[in-house]
Structure 1
Amino acid sequence: MCQHQPPCPTAESADRESARLMAHHPEQGWSLLCNGVLLFEDTGELLPDGSVIAPHRPLGAEQVMTAA
């Protein structure tokens, strides 16, 4: 799918979110990456094979301190 050099990470790669943006629709809360991944505003993902990656927002400093 990707025509960039060097090629973007595949949808199966751990760094898949670093692929280039192909379409960006912030008003709808999603972006399409070059590797076919739909990246959602809440950090969830939909992979080209239909697999879902649940939202994975990093813990903020306040949450980390409260959890300790």
Structure 2
Amino acid sequence: MCSHEPVCPSSEDVDHEAARVVVSRPEQGWSLLCNGVVQFDDTGELMPDGAVVAPHRPRVAA
């Protein structure tokens, strides 16, 4: 799906969130990355194969 130079990381790569945004719908709370990952504002993700990644917000030190 990616035609950028350098090529964006694939959805299987650890750094898949570094891919470029191709569609952004901030009013709905999601963005589509060029590797097919749908990223949600709550940090959850929907992978191209349908797998769901739960939100993974950084923990705040107390």
Match of 2:29 in 1: 29
Match of 1:51 in 2: 51
* Equivalent pairs, count: 62
Match of 1:38 in 2: 38
2: CA distance, partners of 1:31 / 1:25 = 6
User: What is the RMSD computed on CA atoms of the aligned residues?
Assistant: 0.7
With the length of structure 2 as denominator, give the TM-score of the two structures. 0.95
* Structure 2: tracts of 5 or more residues without a match: none
* Structure 1: tracts of 5 or more residues without a match: none
With the length of structure 1 as denominator, give the TM-score of the two structures. 0.87
Q: Which runs of 4+ in 1 moved over 4 A?
A: none
1: CA distance, partners of 2:22 / 2:16 = 14
Structure of larger gyration radius: 1
Q: State the 1:18 CA deviation.
A: 0.5
2: CA distance, partners of 1:14 / 1:55 = 16
Identity %, equivalent residues: 61
